[in-house]
Structure 1
Amino acid sequence: MLAVNPVPAPLEVLMSTPAPGDFSYPRPRPRLSVDELLAAKNTQPIRSLDDLTADTFESDEELEEFLAFTYAERHRDAA
């Protein structure tokens, strides 16, 4: 006679939802229109290209060094 071993029952996994006072999950943010977002940041429209200028480099030489470095990095693995 063959011995039959009982098949173990699958493990039961209990899941729960967070308690009402549990703030460990992100809360949905209210949906704002583009106009409301812009008003909240006090943004102004760009009126000319001068609005976009920035003094990033102190000299033309510093700019040239940056451009040479950027070019070399972009083409480093191309060969």
Structure 2
Amino acid sequence: MSVPASEGFSHPQPRPRLSVEELLAAKNTQPIRSLDDLAADTFESDEELEEFLAFTYAERRRDAA
């Protein structure tokens, strides 16, 4: 027995389309004013950064081979 395509399936209601400005306001974002706004202390030391870079470069070379 076949079931009509419209039965048993519910389609999500479309969300209202918001402008970029509305989306940013909803997230309470602020514009980037300088590169300092993007700065982050990701690595504990210069050595940790160097290890990460060496690993990243080695993986790129491995994948390219």
The interval holding the TM-score normalised by the smaller chain is 0.7 to 0.9
State percent identity of aligned pairs: 78
Instruction: Kindly indicate which of the two structures has a greater share of residues assigned to helix.
Output: 2
Distance of 1:33 and 1:68 partners within structure 2: 42
- What is the aligned partner in structure 2 of residue 44 from structure 1? 30
Aligned length in residues: 65
Report the alpha carbon displacement of residue 71 of structure 1 after superposing the two structures with TM: 0.3
RMSD: 2.1
* 1:9-61 CA distance string (max 9 Å, x none): xxx74324257xx7x53221110011100100000000000000000000000
SS of equivalent residue, structure 1 residue 76: helix
Flag structure 1 segments of 5+ consecutive residues without an equivalent: 1-11
TM-score of the pair, normalised by structure 2: 0.84
TM-score of the pair, normalised by structure 1: 0.70
Structure with larger Rg? 1
- What is the aligned partner in structure 2 of residue 6 from structure 1? none
Distance of 1:55 and 1:64 partners within structure 2: 14
Distance of 1:52 and 1:18 partners within structure 2: 50
Flag structure 2 segments of 5+ consecutive residues without an equivalent: none
Considering Cα pairs closer than 8 Å and 6+ residues apart, tell me whether 1 or 2 has the greater RCO. Answer: 2
